[in-house]
Amino acid sequence: MAKHGIGRENLNTYSNNLEIWRKTQICSYKQPMSIKVIAFDADDTLWVNEPYFQEIEKKFCVLLEDYLPQHTSARELLKTEIDNLALYGYGIKGFMLSMIETAMSVSQHTISLDVIEKIIGYGKDLLARPIELLDGVDEVLQQLKGRYRLVVATKGDLLDQERKLKNSGIEHFFHHIEIMSDKKESDYQKLIRHLDVQPEEFLMIGNSLKSDILPVLNLGGHGFHIPYHTTWAHEHIDHTIEHENFKQVEHIKQVLIHLV
């Protein structure tokens, strides 16, 4: 997804869980010789995303300091965002609307137009940010190109994700771009069918266990998890994964060990 967040009160739990995953990782992972398609998540897998959202959230919470302490505004915003997900989907525009809605509710509809204007400006700044590829991405894609069909599978605003891909300089590596409204099993099933492969020929690489890995494993596909240093609270899961098609790596370059 393209998304982001706040209310990162669970971050300690999250990093503890990562330790557990590292320790309990099973060794029975088999070389995925059957893989034909590798799909990459985009936000916080190919390029930086979540830290930009967090920056804006911080500014937003400072704006509302007259009404609520910052951490309370953060929690209110997260709640509004999650409530709105089914309506707006993932992405910056929905985030802007959720900030405006939160500002209105915490101020009991007394928020000034000046503040609303600032919120819209924050969102526009976010839309205009240059793309910052994560370390090793270009090298990994170069090595994998020609060996596999490479795909991007991302959530988020359609226009925004298209813009990011265009400006990323890596679009040419990909055979197919899928901008998904959600990343549930049924969404992956559609994608896998569209790509005309079997689930066991499909590998998903991403930073969210919940969105990028679990649904794909459930379908019989493969999942490589690359944890990012920060993850939106909505993407957290609090249990460990043990699956023969699952692999966790610390850095995107390490996927090459298993795939080349």
Binding site for Mg ion (CB under 5 A): 41, 43-44, 207
> For residues 76 and 178, which CB has a smaller minimum distance to Mg ion in the complex?
178
> For residues 96 and 152, which CB has a smaller minimum distance to Mg ion in the complex?
152
- Of 52, 47, 63, nearest to 5 by C-alpha is 52
Q: Which long-range contacts (CB under 8 A, 24 or more apart) does 138-143 make?
A: 138/169, 138/170, 139/253, 140/252, 140/253, 140/255, 140/256, 141/170, 141/173, 142/173, 143/256, 143/260
Closest separation between CB of residue 127 and Mg ion, Å? 18
Q: What φ, ψ does residue 176 adopt, rounded to 5°?
A: -155, 140
Cα–Cα distance measured from residue 150 to residue 59, given in angstroms and rounded to the nearest whole number: 37
Closest separation between CB of residue 255 and Mg ion, Å? 15
- Of 82, 73, 71, 69, nearest to 104 by C-alpha is 73
Closest separation between CB of residue 33 and Mg ion, Å? 27
Strands (E), the chain: 37-40, 149-155, 176-180, 202-206, 222-225, 246-248
Taking a C-beta distance cutoff of 8 angstroms, is the pair 114, 121 a contact?
A: no
Closest separation between CB of residue 43 and Mg ion, Å? 4
> For residues 43 and 178, which CB has a smaller minimum distance to Mg ion in the complex?
43
Q: What φ, ψ does residue 134 adopt, rounded to 5°?
A: -75, 155
> For residues 68 and 237, which CB has a smaller minimum distance to Mg ion in the complex?
237
> For residues 76 and 212, which CB has a smaller minimum distance to Mg ion in the complex?
212
Closest separation between CB of residue 72 and Mg ion, Å? 27
Closest separation between CB of residue 32 and Mg ion, Å? 21
> For residues 44 and 76, which CB has a smaller minimum distance to Mg ion in the complex?
44
